[in-house]
């Protein structure tokens, strides 16, 4: 009995010692996602990896990111059948801590976090007073802080917005985007693969939950979420650990089944999310769009006040003027962003995203259409560069993974 107590005490002491040395992330003076002097763009810590894998790099929201490696379609298909790894380190990672962190987030986010448990994540919107969407984010509750992951293109806008609305709220906002890395592993084989590789199995993490894990002195968080319609995780960690981790994942990922884990770029990420009916900021969402029209009313709390809440409850009561819908478009042509949706020659909406769906083998699009014509199975037309193509309204998502 005694030695168990001693052992327990020693263990606790060791954990205390360990905790002193486990830094959540690398200190700012260590490695960072760096600004390239030649291009003026930020490079994630995986830049060399992307180049070595033959990625086509593009400017995305001030970052040099991989658009594709082998091709968008093969990377898309591999994500639907195997497991793909995406570098999403360009996304903003903002840490809110201090006594009023929760209250402040309750003020600026549409989602009610009052009942959010430690280890839980929520999709939420940040809206202006009119209910217009400033960004869509994932907020996660840690023991002592909240993490908000935002779109790369909106990070600076959000930082300014939060600063402008800080008022008397007592909290600290730290932008950890440059000191950390973020990858996502997605696909039907992702969880099984990660179960073999992570210190604690990914399959133990519930959807829209996360686990703070560590391996030796590297600490990282594993989130059971994604943006592809597949099962998988998103992982955030410090830069040094991220580079080691990536090599480790590839070594093991390739060992356990040849070529099981493949890198995929932003191109496939876009086509995957579109099939999964997930909105993209700048396409489906912007400051002129409200969450109710976008079909995101489920992420807008009815039981708290926040910036935009009165405008949004009015829209909810009156019903939105237009709604985001899915369209199946006939024929071989893709209805792109901005394409008009018509009914009997009259414009009733606009396409926000469209693609030749690699999984379904047909043309799909998302569009805002007048609420009167937004019911599933409504026949409409899209005006693709002067040619009218038949379209039919369909419920989102276009693709749902087999359970």
Partner 1 sequence: MPSPTDRYYTDTHEWFKPEGENVTVGITQFAVGELSDITYVEFPAPGKALSAQKMFGEIESVKATNELYAPVDGSVAEINEGVKKDPSLVNQDPYGKGWLIKIKTAAKDFSSFLSAQQYDAKYPQS
Residues that bind partner 1 (CB under 8 A): 56-57, 67-68, 71-73, 267, 271, 332-334, 336, 355-356, 358, 385
Least separation in angstroms between residue 55's CB and partner 1 is 10
Query: Residue 195, preceding bond cis, omega within 30 degrees?
Result: no
Give the residue with the Cβ less far from partner 1, 68 or 89: 68
Give the residue with the Cβ less far from partner 1, 99 or 338: 338
Between helices 155-164 and 101-108, what is the axis angle to 10°? 110
Least separation in angstroms between residue 366's CB and partner 1 is 15
Least separation in angstroms between residue 56's CB and partner 1 is 6
Give the residue with the Cβ less far from partner 1, 73 or 301: 73
Say which DSSP state 198 is in: S
Interior CA angle at 394 toward 390 and 397, to 5°? 130
Give the residue with the Cβ less far from partner 1, 228 or 334: 334
Least separation in angstroms between residue 285's CB and partner 1 is 20
Least separation in angstroms between residue 390's CB and partner 1 is 17
Give the residue with the Cβ less far from partner 1, 181 or 355: 355
Sheet holding 145-150, edge to edge: 121-127, 133-141, 145-150, 92-97, 172-175
Least separation in angstroms between residue 168's CB and partner 1 is 47
Interior CA angle at 229 toward 224 and 231, to 5°? 35
Identify the CA nearest to 186 among candidates 291, 265, 303.
Answer: 265
SS (H, E, C) 154-187: HHHHHHHHHHHCCCCCCCEEEECCCCEEEEEEEC
Encoded tokens for 29: 């003076």
Q: Are 184 and 195 in contact (CB under 8 A)?
A: no
Q: Are 348 and 369 in contact (CB under 8 A)?
A: yes
Give the residue with the Cβ less far from partner 1, 260 or 364: 364
Encoded tokens for 296: 């995101």
Interior CA angle at 42 toward 36 and 44, to 5°? 105
Give the residue with the Cβ less far from partner 1, 57 or 300: 57
Least separation in angstroms between residue 352's CB and partner 1 is 15
Give the residue with the Cβ less far from partner 1, 153 or 256: 153
175 contacts: CB under 8 Å, gap ≥ 6 = 92, 93, 94, 95, 155, 159
Least separation in angstroms between residue 63's CB and partner 1 is 15
């Amino acid at each position: 009995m005694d030695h168990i107590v001693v052992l327990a005490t020693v263990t606790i002491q060791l954990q205390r010692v360990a905790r002193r040395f486990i830094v959540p992330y690398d200190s700012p003076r260590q490695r960072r996602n760096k600004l390239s002097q030649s291009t003026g763009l930020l490079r994630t810590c995986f830049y060399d990896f992307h180049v070595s894998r033959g990625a086509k790099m593009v400017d995305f929201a001030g970052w040099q990111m991989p658009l594709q490696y082998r091709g968008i379609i093969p990377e898309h298909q591999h994500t639907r059948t195997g497991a793909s790894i995406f570098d999403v380190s360009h996304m903003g990672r903002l840490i809110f801590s201090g006594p009023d962190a929760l209250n402040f987030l309750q003020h600026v986010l549409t989602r009610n976090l009052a009942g959010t448990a430690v280890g839980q994540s929520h999709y939420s919107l940040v809206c202006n007073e009119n209910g217009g969407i400033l960004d869509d984010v994932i907020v996660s509750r840690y023991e002592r802080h909240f993490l908000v992951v935002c779109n790369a293109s909106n990070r600076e806008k959000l930082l300014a917005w939060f600063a402008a609305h800080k008022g008397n709220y007592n909290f600290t906002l730290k932008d950890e985007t440059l000191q950390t890395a973020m990858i996502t592993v997605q696909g039907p084989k992702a969880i099984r693969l990660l179960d073999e590789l992570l210190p604690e199995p990914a399959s133990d993490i519930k959807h829209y939950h996360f686990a703070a894990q560590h391996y030796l002195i590297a600490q990282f968080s594993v989130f059971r979420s994604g943006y592809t319609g597949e099962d998988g995780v998103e992982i955030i960690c410090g830069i040094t650990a991220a580079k080691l981790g990536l090599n480790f994942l590839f070594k093991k990922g390739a060992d356990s089944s040849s070529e099981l884990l493949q890198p995929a770029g932003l191109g496939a990420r876009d086509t995957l999310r579109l099939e999964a009916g997930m909105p993209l900021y700048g396409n489906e969402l912007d400051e002129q769009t409200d969450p109710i029209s976008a079909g995101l009313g489920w992420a807008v709390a009815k039981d708290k006040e926040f910036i935009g809440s009165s405008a949004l409850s009015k829209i909810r009561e009156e019903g939105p003027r237009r709604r985001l819908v899915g369209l199946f478009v006939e024929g071989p042509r893709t209805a792109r962003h901005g394409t008009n949706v018509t009914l009997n020659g009259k414009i009733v909406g606009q396409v926000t995203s469209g693609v030749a769906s690699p999984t379904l083998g047909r043309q799909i699009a998302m569009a805002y259409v007048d609420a009167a014509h937004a019911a599933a199975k409504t026949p409409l037309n899209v005006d693709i560069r002067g040619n009218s193509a038949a379209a039919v309204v369909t419920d989102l998502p276009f693709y749902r993974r087999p359970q």
